[in-house]
Every structure is written in C-alpha cells, then in structure tokens.
Structure 1
C-alpha cells in the first residue's frame, strides 16, 4: 500500500480533532457548541481538501510502500508498546497511573463538565486523550454498571492510544522516507528507544544504585532539577500529554505552509498546554524563517480563514478552560510572582542557579552531544538550531513546584531530535562504508554509541514492569489509588475552585 502524508492527513487530523469535537459537544452550551463544531469541521475540511499547490507540475509527493501484513504487524507493535506502559491494567502501572485512572473514571461516571459538589470544584485538566474512549464507555456504564464499563473503558483507551502511536509511526516513516524494510526498522527503533544518556548522568551524580532500586528503576531522575523524558517514558507516564503532541508535531513537520498551524496547535493544546508551548516555538521560528526567505504567500497562509476562525472560536474557548485550572493561578499569580521568594529571582539569577545545579552537564548528556555529532549534516537547517536553542533554554524556566515545564515543553523538541538522528542513519543505508571519510566514520561510531547508551533509559522503563510482575506473581497490577478525585483534597493540578468566577464556567460551560 502506497502511503503519503496527504493520504494519512485525513486520519491524523481526525484523530487530533476528535477530542476537541467531543469536548465541545459535551462541555459547552448549545450555541457555543454548534459554533465551535462548525469551525472545527471547516478547519478540518480546509486542511484536508485545500492543499497548497507548491510542487512543480508532474512532481509527485514522496511516499513509502507498506504491505498489509506490515501494517498489521505495526499496529500490533503499537498495541504491545502501550500494553508494556500499563494500558489495559493487565500489566504494571506506575505511580502516575493512579490519578490518571481516577480522572478517566470520573469522566465516565459523571455528567460533563465534571463537578465535585462536595468540594465545590470542577475537573480542569489535560483530558483530551480520554474524551473519545470515555464518550464511548458512557453508554456501557449506563446499561451494565461500572464493572463491565471499566473493563470496556480500559480496552477502549488501549486501542485509542495504540491508534495514535500507529498514526505517529506511519507519518514518521513517511517523513523519514523509509522506503525499505531496513529503513523502516531503523525508524521504529528510534521511535521506541531514543533517549538521552541518563545512565551516564546517574553515574556522574553517584545516584545509579538508588535509581536502579526496585522502588525506583527510573534513570531520568539523576538530577531532580531537570529532565528530558525519553519517548517511551512519556508514553508510559504521561500518555495523555504525549500521543497527541507527537502526532501534531509530525504533521507540522510535513506541512508546506502555515495555513493549518492553529488547528494543529489547538489540538495539541487539548492534550497538554506544556507540549503546546514547545510546538508553538517551532511554528513561530518557521514563520520567521519563511518571512526572512521572502517566500510568497507567507502572511496569506498565516492569516488563512482556518487559522483566523480557529483562533477566534476554537482556541479561545479551549484556552479559557485550561486558564481556570488552580495551578495556573498558583504558578502565575502565586509562586512566580508573589508567594515564593525563590521564584522572585531575576531571570539572570535563575540562569546562574540552574548552571550551578549542573544544567550544562544535563544538556550535554541529554541532547548536546547528539547535536554536536549531527551539526555537520544539519548546519543549514533552521529545525536543527531551533531544537538546539530551545532545549538549552527550556530548563531555565520553571512553572509550579516541579520540573514539569522542562519535561513536557521539551516533548516536541525531543521528538524532532529523534527524527534528526533517525534520518542520519537511514541515509547511511544507501551508502557504502568505504565511500565515507575517516571523520564521517568517527561521527557514525560515536553517534551509534551514544544512542545505544541512551537506549538504557527506555529499556529500564520496560524492565521495571517486568520486574514488578515477576516479584508480585501477577499481571494484574492496576493502580486504583485514588479511585476518584471526589474523595481527595482539592488538587492544585487537576481542579478549579470558584467556578462562578472563571470565564469558561461562567459563559461557555453547560
């Protein structure tokens, strides 16, 4: 089967916009729901059907060929990848799964928007990834009760996650032009096993024994102040923020101009505001580059009908929902402005503090060495420099109490860095070793060595689950603590208080 981006695009955009459609239909008052759904449908049609004519006459779009058996095996691989991360509940689920299961369960058992009257709060979180499977499960819950509905819900979420990573993988192979079996295998290996060299960081910080302990097995915490999570780590711990962000990023890389950026960005926002910020960095830089190159129609595509309508209606309503979150008020008005003395430091002081905490070592091990080795092949690429600079700057910023900003804003950049590494090795498939220079051979060997060292991180993520199952003697290690957010104190991350004073709940919500 011949695959191109234009053939995959309707499926990718349907996956990305489906959570928005469910959110608008389930959360908004009728007039706003109708208007938002109409704009969303128009933007989808505009992105799929109004393809810019930028290619020369007779020039066909680049694509790859995958047989039906390969397509089936690839989907099975994505199912397995998600299963090893805890999808289905019939494998080990890490500590983050408890609250994620509770949020998913509350979306199924409560009317939308989800309110907690006993606490006078409402659920405000990155719920996009759960909305479609939750909507499919609600009728099952109404007919058969929670036990059967929860089994159905877990399977629905597993398939939905696998479908997302499947679309990511297909688009990645098309983007990399992986037109042979060997190139396709390289692309998939990078997707699953790409990571920074955290095991060297653990050795550098003398924390390796602690990080290999049974109750940890998480190499990326070798520094408590910074983290660029591997792709497998993101899928295992924050799948709700990850899958949509990956898909929006790989679609962005294949777009010919800026006409659909707001649609892709808002779909990413629905999955997670932090990855949205990371993706917007690349969108803005590409727009500036196109303007600097005096490309025709840049402003016209930036102010396309789809971008304008999505910005005014879809993006503004979606953003108002997330702005109601307690953490936003705490981070912007509390910790970083008024409440926390440490956060009142100037940006220069924050930079100095980060450097003293070993940020340069962190940057080198998790991204910098890769970038140095890839520089010669990408020295004229705006994508490369944006990736390098953004990954260097992101750790200097902090929102809230943890390092979530660093971990999650970096998701698009780490994904793009993975594509740069994968493209390097895919290009080697069509070359002969003896044709290369000594310097090229040295770079290849060093890059392969760093990638193998980095692969220890996702390997540890997979091993953790296997180890827990072996010790517990069962595959049923679902994390059900807490069961519902209704039984927990008011959360900084998952809820909003004083709904009547929040723009979204005052004007837009049911």
Structure 2
C-alpha cells in the first residue's frame, strides 16, 4: 500500500523524527564531550537524510489535496483547550508531580549542562541528575536565552505540537474515511478515554468520589492511566509514547518499509524508558508481520543497524548511570491482597473493553489488520502488573501507554468503523463503557477547573530539586563513578 504524504504519512514521519530527535541532539551537545557530540549529530543528520530519501521514494502525493480548515480548526481547538487545563507551562492547575517537573525545568534553565546540583555546597557531595530529560530541553534552551516566562510558553507550545502529531497518528492508523464531524468524534474518544475507575473507587471506598478526586489509585498496587490523567501528570512520558506507538502501527498497517524505524525507537529512550519497554512487543509484532510478507531486506538498513545503536547506546549509558535507588520486584511480592486487586483491576480496566471489541472485530473484514494488535495489546495489559519498578510503580503506569494507545485505536474503530445494524448489542455496550470511563479524565479536568491558575508560578517559588521529598531525589540520583560520567560527559 502506498501511503499518502498529503494525508499525513510522510510528513508525519518527518515531523515525528524531528520532534523526538531534536531534544536528543540538544542533550548530547550539552552533556557530551565535543568529539562524541559531533559524531552523534552527524549520525542523526545521516539518519534524517535516509528518512527524507525514503519519503521521496515511497510516498506519492494525492491529487485530491490534504486536510482542509473544516478538519483542522475544530481539532486544534479541542487540543488547545485540552492542554490549557493540563498545567503544562503553568497554564492550568499543576498537580503535585509538577513540583519535581518545575524544579528540573528551572535547573535546566539556570544551571550548566550536564546537570550537577549542589556543587556550591562543600558540606554535601554533588548530585548527578539522571532522568529522562528530552521533553524539557527545547523549552529550557529558550529559557536560557529569554528567561523563565518564555520557557514556560515554549513548553506549552512544544507540548501542543507533540500532541497534535500524536493525534494525527491516531487518526492516520484509524484508517477510516473521516468527515470533519467524525474526526472530531474520534479525537473526543481519544481525549476522554479511561478505565472504569469510578466503579473501582466505589467498590473500595463504598461511596462515590467528589468531583476533582484523583480516581486512578483505587487498585492500590497499579493503575492504567486515563489519557487526561497522563496529560496532566506526566506529559514528559506520554507524548513521545503516543508518537512512537503511532509510528509503529503506521509502518505495519500501511506496509511502509521500516528502514528508519530503529531511529524512532532509539530517540524515544531519552524520553520515556518505561514506555519503550511497553512498546517493544508491538515493535516485534510489526517486524514479524513485515518479514512474513516482505522478507528481511528492508529491516537490515544502515539506520536500523548502525545509526540506531549509536543513538540508543548514548541514552542507555546515561540512564544506566542511575544508582537505581528505588524498588524493583515482582508485582505480588509482599502484597497478600495482590490477586484480589489484580482480578478486579483486569475486569474494570481491560475485560470491559476487549469483550465488546472481540465481537465487533471478530468478523475480520476491513478490520483484519487490527486483529494481531488487539491480541498483543491484551497480552501486554495482562502481564504488566506482575512487575513492579519505582516507588509509585511507574513501570506499570508508563509501560502501559503504548498498549492503551492501541486499545483506543480499536475502540474508535469499533465505534466509528462498524455497523450498528450488524452489532446492535456490543456497539452500545462499548459506547456505555467509554462514557463511564470518561468520568476519570473528567474528574481530573474538574480539579483543574476548580483550582485553575495562570500565569506560571514565579521562578523564585520553585524549590530546588534537592529540597523535594526523598523519593523524588532517590529515583534521579546518578553515580559519579559510572562510565558515563567518568568518560563521556563534559567537565
């Protein structure tokens, strides 16, 4: 199948490559010794050249033209309004995680790179900051040039751009003929998606939550976050995970030769390593489906087997320099109530979606391309809770983002791409589940409305990172004796 660059195929690949890649280049320029930074940048430019050549060779423009204003304007309005309640860039109420986000952002603006804190205090050892910093770097560079206020505006615009790319991938891989109104409905499905947390909350607390309550932690040991929850708490993970999953599905469903695919995965490691683990089953699926139909020749490209390892290794060495001073265990270890919560959690977060989807998609037909993605998503969501990493089990929350993205594509297809006449029971059931699940994100938005703030907090009110709770600090501590800090970094 020839993908259509005018409809967002090749153009979106290029936009995604730049969006995920530019922060990586900023990282190596700021953290690495000059020879490594120059070599890395050259590798990225070569990868970009190969990608552009592939787009020119493999994509054909459509004489019918691209999206019109009737499509773009309503969708952009929805996205801007959605992000305007997220707290990103100080626009809207900022949840407690923003204490750490803002602290890191301020340090990146005001301190030299690589980021080493506490160097002016002889009574304490310097703190080598190791964290996935890609989301913040372009806006932090703006802040170094123009100050805190400009940096927050840049972070907001940078996030809107990334979410627009992610939503465009969502609509692309949905692969349905969409009118402006149906496109808007699809985007609304994406923005309101959530599990049946309100039922889980009621089962555990025996009462209904107040509006603005954070519903996600009713299962105690794990959560699969609603899209609005992800946006208002952890955009630094979420945006890249959505984009990478969209790129993965696009290569497979539209049969695009995966010659540059490895670079997208490598770039994403500095954004969200947990989500990278969650996307790997889908990467394997896409490769298997491609090889089975087309052979292995396009897999063994310079971008995949030379450039991507160079890019990925740099981020891996940085992340591996963390001291890993956080819990890592099997999910049930020390948790006698694990199985009870797990079974209820699976019912309210997974089964309620996949049962109607199975009946809506089982007749195959036009939906046959989604079937392996449905089973892979189901498998990932079933397995993830058996592993635990991080004080708040971040691994499950962030590792589930790719599988949930695939699930939302399936849900949108089930609601917009199947016939009500053919499915008079399961289609309404799926719609009801989506509507009840929307209450989770709705409660997050209600809290933002109730506590709405603007403009961004004054920079003087932002705490130093080392003054934050010990759990935040422990998870981001680097080892100064690691190979990365001894051999690769500047200064």
Going from structure 1 to structure 2, the CA distance change for 1:352 and 1:237 (only over 3 Å counts) comes to closer
Is the CA contact (8 Å cut-off) linking 1:212 and 1:219 kept in structure 2?
Answer: no
Alpha-carbon separation, structure 2, partners of 1:259 and 1:400: 34
Going from structure 1 to structure 2, the CA distance change for 1:65 and 1:72 (only over 3 Å counts) comes to same
**In the TM superposition, what is the alpha-carbon distance from 1:357 to its structure 2 partner?**
3.5
In the alignment, structure 1 residue 16 sits paired with structure 2 residue 17:
no
In the alignment, structure 1 residue 31 sits paired with structure 2 residue 35:
yes
Alpha-carbon separation, structure 2, partners of 1:48 and 1:441: 46
TM-score (ref. length: structure 1): 0.85
In the alignment, structure 1 residue 317 sits paired with structure 2 residue 314:
yes
**1:172-183 to 2 correspondence within 5 Å?**
172-176=170-174, 177-183=176-182
What is the SS of the residue equivalent to 1:232? helix
Partner of 1:254: 250
**In the TM superposition, what is the alpha-carbon distance from 1:222 to its structure 2 partner?**
1.0
Alpha-carbon separation, structure 1, partners of 2:216 and 2:469: 29
**In the TM superposition, what is the alpha-carbon distance from 1:123 to its structure 2 partner?**
1.4
Partner of 1:503: 483
Alpha-carbon separation, structure 2, partners of 1:249 and 1:303: 21
Partner of 1:426: 416
Within the candidate set 480, 492, 499, 2:474 is matched to 492
**1:102-113 to 2 correspondence within 5 Å?**
102-113=103-114
Is the CA contact (8 Å cut-off) linking 1:269 and 1:276 kept in structure 2?
Answer: yes
What does the per-residue CA deviation read over 1:240-292, in whole Å, with 9 as the maximum and x for residues that have no partner? 1111111111111111243333211122211111111111121023323444x
**1:43-122 to 2 correspondence within 5 Å?**
43-51=47-55, 65-68=66-69, 70-116=71-117, 117=119, 118=121, 119-122=125-128
Alpha-carbon separation, structure 2, partners of 1:295 and 1:351: 46
Alpha-carbon separation, structure 1, partners of 2:486 and 2:359: 54
Within the candidate set 347, 356, 363, 1:373 is matched to 356
Alpha-carbon separation, structure 1, partners of 2:248 and 2:159: 20
Of 84-93 and 314-323, deviating more is: 84-93
**1:27-426 to 2 correspondence within 5 Å?**
27-51=31-55, 65-68=66-69, 70-116=71-117, 117=119, 118=121, 119-140=125-146, 149-176=147-174, 177-206=176-205, 208-209=207-208, 211-212=209-210, 217-255=213-251, 256-291=256-291, 294-298=292-296, 300-326=297-323, 328=324, 330-331=325-326, 335-336=327-328, 343=329, 350=333, 355-379=338-362, 381-426=371-416
What does the per-residue CA deviation read over 1:4-63, in whole Å, with 9 as the maximum and x for residues that have no partner? 3113221221111111111122211111111111111222222232249789xxx97799
**In the TM superposition, what is the alpha-carbon distance from 1:3 to its structure 2 partner?**
2.1
What does the per-residue CA deviation read over 1:163-211, in whole Å, with 9 as the maximum and x for residues that have no partner? 11111122222222353112201211112101111111111222645x5
Going from structure 1 to structure 2, the CA distance change for 1:63 and 1:265 (only over 3 Å counts) comes to farther
Is the CA contact (8 Å cut-off) linking 2:192 and 2:438 kept in structure 1?
Answer: yes
Alpha-carbon separation, structure 2, partners of 1:352 and 1:88: 38
Alpha-carbon separation, structure 2, partners of 1:111 and 1:464: 36
Is the CA contact (8 Å cut-off) linking 2:390 and 2:475 kept in structure 1?
Answer: no
What is the SS of the residue equivalent to 2:84? helix
Is the CA contact (8 Å cut-off) linking 2:143 and 2:149 kept in structure 1?
Answer: no
Is the CA contact (8 Å cut-off) linking 2:211 and 2:447 kept in structure 1?
Answer: no
Within the candidate set 421, 434, 446, 1:451 is matched to 434
What is the SS of the residue equivalent to 1:398? strand
Of 66-75 and 199-208, deviating more is: 66-75
Instruction: Say what the alpha-carbon RMSD is for the aligned residues.
Output: 2.7
Of 280-289 and 107-116, deviating more is: 280-289
Is the CA contact (8 Å cut-off) linking 1:260 and 1:306 kept in structure 2?
Answer: yes
Unaligned runs of at least 5 residues, structure 2? 363-367
Going from structure 1 to structure 2, the CA distance change for 1:447 and 1:356 (only over 3 Å counts) comes to same
What does the per-residue CA deviation read over 1:464-509, in whole Å, with 9 as the maximum and x for residues that have no partner? 111224xxxx65584977522144577112231x41x112112221
Alpha-carbon separation, structure 2, partners of 1:489 and 1:227: 22
Alpha-carbon separation, structure 2, partners of 1:360 and 1:193: 24
**In the TM superposition, what is the alpha-carbon distance from 1:69 to its structure 2 partner?**
5.7
What is the SS of the residue equivalent to 2:128? strand
**In the TM superposition, what is the alpha-carbon distance from 1:235 to its structure 2 partner?**
0.8
